[in-house]
Structure 1
Amino acid sequence: MGVHDNQPLAFVDADGQAKGFLIDILEYIGAKEGWRLDYIPGSLTECLERLRRGEIDLAVGIEYSRERNEVYDFTYEDIFSDWGVVYTQEDSDINQIVNLDNKKIAVVHGDIHYHNLRNLAERLKLKCRFVEAYEYDAVLELIALKKVDAGVVNRLHGLAFETNYSISRSPIIFSHTEVYFAVPKKQHRKLIRAIDKHLAPLKSDKSSVYHQALDKWTPTNVKWQLPKWFVGILAAAGVLLLLFLVTGLILRAQVKAKTSELSFINQELLTEIAERKRVEDVLRLTQFSVDNTGDAAFWMGPDAKFIYVNDTACYSLGYAREELLSMTVHDIDPEFPATAWPEHWQEVRRRGSFIVESQHRTREGRAFPVEITVNYLEFEGQEYNCAFARDITERKEAEKEKERMQVQLRQAQKMEAVGTLAGGIAHDFNNLLQAVQGYAQLLLLRKDGDDDGQRELQQIVRAATRGAELTQQLLTFSRKIESELQPIDFNREVENVRLLLERTIPKMIEVEFRLAEDLKMVNADPGQIEQILMNLAVNAKDAMPDGGKLIVETANVILDQDYCKIHLVANPGSYVQLTVTDTGHGIDKMTIEHIFEPFYTTKETGKGTGLGLATVYGIVKSHNGHIVCYSEPDEGTTFKIYLPTIDSTQEARKAEEHLTAPEGGSETILLVDDEEPIRGLGTQILEEFGYTVLTAADGESALQLYSKKQKKIDLVILDLIMPGMGGKLCLLELLKINLEAKVAIASGYSPDGPTREILKNGAKGFISKPYDLRQMLKVIREVLDQN
């Protein structure tokens, strides 16, 4: 609690104890609320500065002003009403405000009465010379020592201590103010509400601690000194009274009537004052409500310049109120050019009130979506637009997430429909081929080796056989052929294919196998697993006509709820992951959407049936598995296949152990990814485990953010493929800024594929995409714990 010397309202005595009218009230409320109160003494200026910086929680006895309301929050209930009083040297002729012209006046630095007197003097064009002190007692002492002509203190302090000095109280009273408790802006609102809760009942109860403290600390015997000019008037009035005594007796009745009239007028004035006080309270409540509403409020005129903005507008955009009041709509709305304003204002006039969506841009240049409620108003012949802007970032992100899920659902439904159609066609087509093949074979049986037409019949049989093979692939895609599932050692099946691949794949393509030693068992058809590997390997070979590298990996993984929220067709659980990566020409996003469809191919006519990946898709689905493809043009391709492990008591126990919460931390991580859903998921995962997360949508903004906050950033998670600069170049620039920077690369490629080079260039770790929560947190912890 900040306390400045403002006796008898609040002060700290010689023993360091806080005392005064306001202290008694605060101690009472603190006891009721269970607070421990520590008092920090200082001058008014020091107290206000500490409050602004948040070094103290509450300041005691602060007069309200609109300027201070920009920086602090005040209790709704005022505690005390006061005025500024001018004191002068004894026998001074200063008895009205204009007498202060060319006078030296002592004031308290930062005092509200000083502020108001200075404004009043400027309006009246008085040339006052102000001498600043830091306490009211110092002001009174300067007057008594005749170092100044006059001084300003608050009424209560003057009444309490004026008899201690050789000074006179002038009849000049001005600057009505109300005293409150104050807290830093938008902080400690609970303190404000708690004080207001107690203060109103205390003021209304005449026997409460409020009135007891008021009687205890406010002066009761005050020496009222009449100015000389008033003594002269009284003397003249006495002479006149003697001269007109008889006239006075005659006019007594008229005086009595006039007194009654004045009493009535005085009562009306009291009523008017009470009504003005009520209106002021309502206006303050309205101002408080508008300033603290959750939506940003902007008032503007026909010229698009801001007339008023509330606290939320300043906070959301990062500007001070004075800065915003010198700006226009076009300065904060990147989608609203100045040339469009005249047409917009006509629409505002015509429609009166409506809702639009746009964007606002912060001081740092970050744009965020807003929903703006426009309201056209006319007041005293002037036109205004009162607009309320609501940040709808979360709503937009939810809509994007919903659309992404709907796209996945439509894709799954499309593949299901295509499978049903393909299965039906294949079944009928297979029957036709059987007839063609059967009759051709019968004719061959009746032919001798040299008969005419035998070669042609053999070609018909071969074509029918090839057609039958294609129909079998279609049936596999549509899952019309039952898989012969059995428990298998997946690594053994991969090893069985190794020799075949080494004979099939050209020597200019390096083939590498990285198989997990403790791979779990799966329930699968060995022949179909071999078909998956061969189809993917053949596709990889065709993508690397000039050579390259093919990597086959196996691993145990757990797909958790977060992964399955992004991949709707996957189910949580324990899986064996088969990863096939090539360094070929890659696939664009448009093509990826169709690669699993039957008969879809990008190869030249005669070089592919378009059923290879469709068959792989069908086999994976028939095994209750999941397949994803990650690729970019000229960056290679990675297929990841997930097959569920065999469910046994031992396997379930291992999975349960794996699902235990991994280790988190408290460091700050910069997450760089151009996909908003990926940034959102990564932020949610990392914050859930205690990390502080900063995000950037591209390499350029990541470098700017790292340059400003590199001392706070402990780790950078950097997406490899991004528009613009890209992950590889961004890593090199980060290491130029800080050679010791800890950077982990995030990619859907294998760490032994296209990412190997960037890992050699200074990255400290590799995080697989899509994010596997445990693998991600394990790598983060390992990189952060490196010396």
Structure 2
Amino acid sequence: MCTPMNNLRSPLQHRSRTKLLYLFIFYLTLSAQAVLASPPITVGIYNNKPTIFVDESGRPAGIFIDILEEIASKEHWEITYRSGYYNDLLNQLKDGEIDILPAVPYSKQQEKFFDFNNTTVLASWAELYTSEGSEIGSLPGLKDKIIGVKAGDIHFEALKDTLKKLNIKCRFFETDAYVTTFAMLRAKIIDIAAVNRLYGENNKLSYSVKGTSILFNPIEMRYALAKGTQQNISQAMDRYISKFKADKSSIYYRTMNKWLNVDSKTPAPSGLLLSFYAALALTLFLSATLILFRLQVRNRTTELQRANKELIDQVSERHKAEETLQMFARVIEASSDAIAIINSNNKHIFTNISYQSIVTPLKKPLEGTSIIDFLGEDFYNLELKEGVNRCLSGETLQIQTRPRPGHNNDFYWNLTLSPYYSDANKLEGYVMNIQDVTEQVELQNRLKNSQKMEAIGMLAGGVAHDLNNILSGLVSYPDMLLIDRGPEDPMTTPLQTIKKAGERAATIVQDLLTLARRGVGHQVVTNFNTIIREFLISPEHRSITKPVMGVEYIISLDNELSNIKGSTVHLSKILMNFFTNGVEAMLEGGVLTISTKAITLKEEYAGYEIIPPGQFATLTVSDTGIGMSTGEINRVFEPFYTSKVMGRSGTGLGMAVVWGTIKDHDGYINIKSKPGKGTSFTAYFPVTNEPIREQTKSPLHDFLGNKERILIVDDLEEQRVLTHSILESLNYQPETASSGLEAIEKCKNTNYALLVLDMIMPGEYDGLAAFEIIKATNPQQKAIIVSGFSETSRVKQAQAIGAGAYLKKPYTVDLLATTIYNELQDHS
């Protein structure tokens, strides 16, 4: 009986289908694993033993690595490591080039750029280390020291902020890693090293450095992760780290004991004793053998030992030399100074990054190129040739110069040339160290200019005092004689001419007083827009612009300009001098712009001088004329300095007066100018919230006296006679005293309604001293102060104890009359 074919196929077909099903399920499993497998995690590693470092075999090691690898093994993470410098790795983490950077100090600032796991792995702080033989016991001891720090280190920022708050000035030297910092401390290139205490305590003996009692900036060290990409990894880390901390036998405590030397005694291996006996037996056997052959091989053995020792010593010395070279190479590369080694043929052997960065015209490598090509033959012959020849004779010297055109020639360089010797002590070339000393040179120049202006000012002030006394007669006598004369009187015109000549002379004297920084008298609230509008319709403006053709004038005034406090006469002179210089710089035509603007500086502005933060009203006068060179800008405020023909356009005091006036108003100035491109002067004045008060002038007969008794105190007879005549004409009863002592005696016997008191008098009692004694016996005594000098601290002291207005010689009859009248009325 035959079995049907259909029945035979069914079991076979069933088994085949089952196999195919199993194969399909296995394939899906493999595919799922491939799909679900996580990509490798890239971890940054840098040298900060014992928290994280690369060991001698080239493997990552340290506390954070041990914990991370334990977690990775449990989570089946694949980890790849990328080594580098800490600062570089932080930037790579920020850019997402790596996924995790272990042992990063946690801070709110850091959290802006990175994610952190929540559980702190290790708490630490920073410590200051010194070389053996040095002692630092407190933060004030850091003054003027060189402190080595790791670039980008959170401890560096904390130390810098602390010292800034304490006003402790020192110099920071940034390095690439803690190892470089300690190496520089050992070499005494720096005085102090600021490092993480875990690193310091584990490495201080290797570098022969010691810790101090100064600890600062406690931190929490965690794992930093690329921002917003590794939340699952962070959560897993926190889960495992919390679990490890709860288990005393976990990897957390094992790695702490391992790297922080907390481990207790470890029992000896069980087979140690057996190994010892075996080794002992072998040693006895070998010793016996060696004794038999000792005489035959003694010499050969000694030679081999010597050769072996020499080889070991050579390897050790070479290793140390390589480490030293690497250390100094890192130091030189990190230096902000431009450093180059140049052979005796003036060819570059080595250059650091700073040196290469200043070679703007050259795009090819510098090694092998000539320094003459780099700096220019003219510059080399003029500035360096002699110094290089002396250096190649063994001398070290310094040269201060400026780069040749095209090489940052707005800067000043300090070049140090030192002989360069080979290992055989043969002089092979020289080392050039270029420092940028622009800031120091500019500060020195400003100090010299300030001292020069002060000396000239003192001389000018003394001369001005005497001249003002002399000019009183030229101004006041004509003024007094003109009181009762009409325009038709034949003496009116001559007297007015004499008075105007005296006033012009007084104006020049006023300029001298301004140079002495003692020229600004009575100050009122004013606005520069008003001063400009009055100047534009003045005779002075017409006389300046009349002889010049082809100049376009642009006026741009800020309607929101704040008021300032000052002397309108002096402020007008600033505008007139700026305007005159601008017009005379454009004899062939151009554009002159006068503008005002309200400015708020939120931080220091470094221009011609340093301008502090604050609110200012500014005046700017710009021209498109011939401009000024750097040398002319440096001398523009010197008295009697001018680039024009002396005497043709004033006295040569104009810009010096501008400088003194601006300083007397607590203001600042900035200059922008280039030859052929024009010049711009900007004056900055501090603003005031006080309103402007309107002033009116009344006729002289409104200020006549009522036979009040007035004592005139002055050491100059001419001045006493003049003032006596004026007061008599003003209906007062004047008396005179030639000294402070005479005034004291007269006041004992007579009550005076007012003293007209000269402040500067010879003898024991000047104006202030005499007034102090008079006030002691008569507290109600009134006085006004007159002087050929400007307002001084002694004037202010006299006003503080009761003296009234200050009046500067030479004064007019109107001014003396109104001052005395107002003083008597205000104190009646």
Q: What TM-score do you get using the length of structure 1 for normalisation?
A: 0.41
Instruction: Compare relative contact order (CA 8 Å, sep 6+) and give the higher one, 1 or 2.
Output: 2
TM-score between the two structures when normalised by the length of structure 2 = 0.40
